[in-house]
Amino acid sequence: MAGLYLHIPFCKQKCHYCDFHFSVSRRQLPEMIQAMKRELVLRKDELTETIETIYWGGGTPSLLDERAYAELFETLYKHYKVGEEPEITLEANPDDLDKQKIKLLQDLSFNRISIGIQSFHDDELQMMNRVHTAKDAEYAVLRAQDAGFQNITIDLIYGMPQSNASKWEYNVEKFLQLQIPHLSSYALTVESKTALEHLIKIGKIAAVEEQLAFQQFHTLRNMMKQNGFDHYELSNYALPGFQSRHNVSYWKEKPYLGFGPSAHSFHETTRSWNVSNNAQYIKHLDNGELALEYEQLSVQERYNEYLMTGLRTKWGVDTRKIESNFGKECKIYFEKGALKYLNNQQLLYINNYEIVVNPEFYFSIDGIIADLFWV
């Protein structure tokens, strides 16, 4: 079992908080599609596993036209062994989801849409320089549902400077009213060199309050629990049957290949990533060469990575796997070290062989994981 990720590095405008790789000029879009097709062909023998999930992310993959989707799908299906019922997700911005686009997505066999809504308040959307309004976002969801899309997820950001307890509750209530089966919700991170960082520095936007984010995380967790959602990963909630198969396979260390500038790949002990520059990426592929850099992960790095992803999920980490994958020494380190100390404080559950972080403490998870790192 494996996953494919396609990174479409273009956006209509730059959201103030975002530091993902994208360009607001679409001049190179046609060449980019050709370059990504070449990358798909050049790497066709990298994986022997069947592809069970395909994820189109970005940037804004919903701004592509029919021909771009069709060409990339055609190349992908021609060169990769795709399973019988793959999960095929498209990250979509609300302003792209008109009736025609939704119909096209269905015809192209996308079966999951991830809509970046971020907030149902116009002042927050404006503050973040989003293209769409709250109403646009709501109608986009309703249109996708009317067209028959069931597997829908949305993104909401908490801990925003202009937010407060009742505004956040409204966001979660709106999500629940819309009867969407999956939610990804992230705490606003002030990334370096973003417009958000600058605007906070010059006092145009208030600083992010950690305490507000903490409260909103718990409000969200409680409201989602009361409504039958499974909090299966730090930032993800699903109704039964609607977990993201693609993301779960990342967290369970299944191999994946990422195509397009800045996309990462992982297979066994190797991590690789494409150059985060559209022109350089296109130039390499035009010359028939990959724009990839590779890194061989050490046992220590793989163990730390395993903790980083595993402990953020409800499945936690498996001590048997720690021994078989990283060696006895590592297992002793894990068990004897910080683990007992953390266990005494009820931060971790120990369930036979599985070690799971108590979700009540997810908000402080980075500190917990750092205590268990092999340094």
**Cα separations in angstroms, 214 against 160, 209, 229, 259, 360:** 12, 9, 19, 35, 11
| Residue at shortest CB range from ligand SAM | 116
Q: By the criterion CB under 6 A, which residues form the site for ligand SF4?
A: 11, 14-15, 18, 20, 22, 58-60, 93, 116
Are 147 and 103 a contacting pair, CB within 8 Å?
A: yes
Nearer to ligand SAM, 20 or 214 (CB): 20
Q: Which does 191 bind (CB under 5 to 8 A by kind): ligand SAM, ligand SF4, none?
A: ligand SAM
Cα(348)–Cα(364) distance, rounded to whole angstroms?
Answer: 12
Radius of gyration for the chain, computed over Cα atoms and rounded to the nearest angstrom: 21
- Bond preceding residue 59 cis, omega within 30 of 0: yes
Identify each DSSP E strand in 80-144 by its residue range: 82-92, 112-118
Nearer to ligand SF4, 11 or 188 (CB): 11
Q: By the criterion CB under 6 A, which residues form the site for ligand SAM?
A: 17-18, 20, 58, 60, 91, 93, 116, 118, 155, 157, 186, 188-189, 191
Q: Which does 270 bind (CB under 5 to 8 A by kind): ligand SF4, ligand SAM, none?
A: none
**Cα separations in angstroms, 310 against 55, 305, 333, 354, 360:** 21, 8, 17, 10, 16
Parallel/antiparallel/unpaired status of strands 264-267 and 348-351: unpaired
CB of 186 to ligand SAM, least distance (A): 4
Q: Which does 233 bind (CB under 5 to 8 A by kind): ligand SAM, ligand SF4, none?
A: none
Q: Which does 157 bind (CB under 5 to 8 A by kind): ligand SAM, ligand SF4, none?
A: ligand SAM
CB of 9 to ligand SF4, least distance (A): 9
Q: Which does 155 bind (CB under 5 to 8 A by kind): ligand SF4, ligand SAM, none?
A: ligand SAM
CB of 115 to ligand SAM, least distance (A): 7
Nearer to ligand SAM, 75 or 93 (CB): 93
CB of 96 to ligand SF4, least distance (A): 10
CB of 195 to ligand SF4, least distance (A): 10
CB of 22 to ligand SF4, least distance (A): 5
Place of tokens 């494919």: 4
Instruction: Output helix, strand, coil percentages for the chain, rounded to the nearest 5.
Output: 45, 20, 35
Nearer to ligand SF4, 107 or 123 (CB): 123
